[in-house]
Chains A and B, each alone.
Chain A
Amino acid sequence: MLRSLLKLSWIEIKVFLREPMGAIGTIVIPVILFLVLGKSAGFNQPIASASLPVLVSLFIAINAVLSMVNIVSIYREGGILKRLRATPLRPQTILGAHILVKLLFTAISLLLMFLAGKRYLIFQAGVSIPSFACALLLSTIGIISIGFLIASIVPTARFAQPIGALILYPMIGISGLFVPIHRMGPIIGTVARILPMTYAVSLLNGIWNGDGWSHHLGDVAALVLFFFLFSALSEKFFRWE
Chain B
Amino acid sequence: MPRVIHASGVRKTYGRTVAVSDASFHVDEGEIFGLIGPNGAGKTTTMECIEGLRKPDGGEIQVLGLDPFRQSRKLQDRVGVQLQLAQLQKRIKVWEAVDLWASLYRGKSVDAARLLDQLGLTEKRNAWFMTLSGGQKQRLFIALALINDPEVVFLDELTTGLDPQARLAIWELVCGIRTRGKTVFLTTHLMEEAERLCDRVAIMDHGRIIDMDSPEQLVRRHCPERTVIVETEFPEALGLFQAIPGVEEVQLDGNRFTVRGIGDLVTHVIHCISENRMRVSDFRTILPSLEDVFLKLTGHSIRE
Q: Are A87 and B101 in contact (CB under 8 A)?
A: yes
Give the contact stretch, choosing among A4-12, A28-36, A50-58, A117-125. Answer: A4-12
Give the contact stretch, choosing among B24-32, B88-96, B187-195, B210-218. Answer: B88-96
B104 contact from A4, A12, A18, Cβ within 8 A: A4
Known A-B contacts A7-B103, A11-B100; A83 and B73 likewise in contact (beta carbons under 8 Å): no
Q: Shortest Cβ distance from B120 into chain A, in angstroms?
A: 21
Residues of B within 8 A of A163 (CB): none
| Interface check A89, CB cutoff 8 A | yes
Total A-B contacts with CB atoms under 8 angstroms apart: 62
Q: How many residues of B contact A (CB 8 A)?
A: 25
Q: Are A85 and B53 in contact (CB under 8 A)?
A: yes
| Interface check B76, CB cutoff 8 A | yes
| Alpha-carbon separation in the docked complex, A23 to B141 (Å) | 28
Q: Are B88 and A18 in contact (CB under 8 A)?
A: no
Residues of A within 8 A of B57 (CB): none
| Alpha-carbon separation in the docked complex, A75 to B105 (Å) | 21
Q: Considering the complex, which residues of chain A in the window 63-101 have a beta carbon less than 8 Å from any beta carbon of chain B?
A: 75, 78-80, 82-83, 85-90
Q: Are B77 and A83 in contact (CB under 8 A)?
A: no
Find the B residue at minimum CB distance from A14.
B96
Give the contact stretch, choosing among B78-86, B165-173, B240-248. Answer: B78-86
Residues of B within 8 A of A15 (CB): 89-92
| Interface check A3, CB cutoff 8 A | yes
| Alpha-carbon separation in the docked complex, A75 to B92 (Å) | 13
Q: Are B96 and A11 in contact (CB under 8 A)?
A: yes
| Interface check B157, CB cutoff 8 A | no
Residues of B within 8 A of A18 (CB): 91, 128
Q: Shortest Cβ distance from A6 into chain B, in angstroms?
A: 8
Q: Are A89 and B83 in contact (CB under 8 A)?
A: no
Q: Are A88 and B91 in contact (CB under 8 A)?
A: no
What is the 8 Å Cβ interface bit string for chain B, positions 87-117, against chain A (1 contact, 0 not)? 1111110001001110111100000000000
Q: Are A86 and B51 in contact (CB under 8 A)?
A: yes
A interface majority secondary structure: helix
B106 contact from A7, A14, A19, A88, Cβ within 8 A: A88
Among the interface residues B73, B100, B128, B144, which one has the most CB atoms of the partner chain A within 10 A?
B100
Q: Are B51 and A79 in contact (CB under 8 A)?
A: no
Q: Are A80 and B87 in contact (CB under 8 A)?
A: yes
Residues of B within 8 A of A78 (CB): 87
| Alpha-carbon separation in the docked complex, A87 to B101 (Å) | 8
Q: Considering the complex, which residues of chain B in the window 216-257 have a beta carbon less than 8 Å from any beta carbon of chain A?
A: none
Q: Are B89 and A79 in contact (CB under 8 A)?
A: no
| Alpha-carbon separation in the docked complex, A17 to B269 (Å) | 71
Q: Are A87 and B76 in contact (CB under 8 A)?
A: yes
Residues of B within 8 A of A83 (CB): 81, 83, 86-88, 144
Find the B residue at minimum CB distance from A1.
B106
Q: Are A87 and B104 in contact (CB under 8 A)?
A: yes
Residues of A within 8 A of B128 (CB): 18
Q: 5 shortest A-B CB distances, which residue pairs?
A: A86-B81, A18-B91, A78-B87, A83-B86, A7-B103
Interface residues of chain B, those whose CB is within 8 Å of chain A, are 51, 53, 73, 76-77, 81, 83, 85-92, 96, 99-101, 103-106, 128, 144
Given contacts A11-B92, A83-B81, A88-B73, 14 further A-B contacts (CB under 8 A): A4-B103, A8-B100, A14-B91, A14-B96, A78-B87, A79-B83, A79-B85, A82-B53, A83-B83, A83-B144, A86-B51, A86-B83, A87-B81, A240-B53
CB pairs A–B below 8 angstroms (24 shown):
A4-B103, A4-B104, A7-B103, A11-B89, A12-B89, A15-B90, A15-B92, A18-B91, A18-B128, A79-B85, A79-B87, A80-B88, A80-B89, A82-B53, A82-B86, A83-B83, A83-B87, A83-B88, A85-B53, A86-B53, A86-B81, A87-B101, A88-B77, A240-B53
Interface residues of chain A, those whose CB is within 8 Å of chain B, are 3-4, 7-8, 11-12, 14-15, 18-19, 75, 78-80, 82-83, 85-90, 240
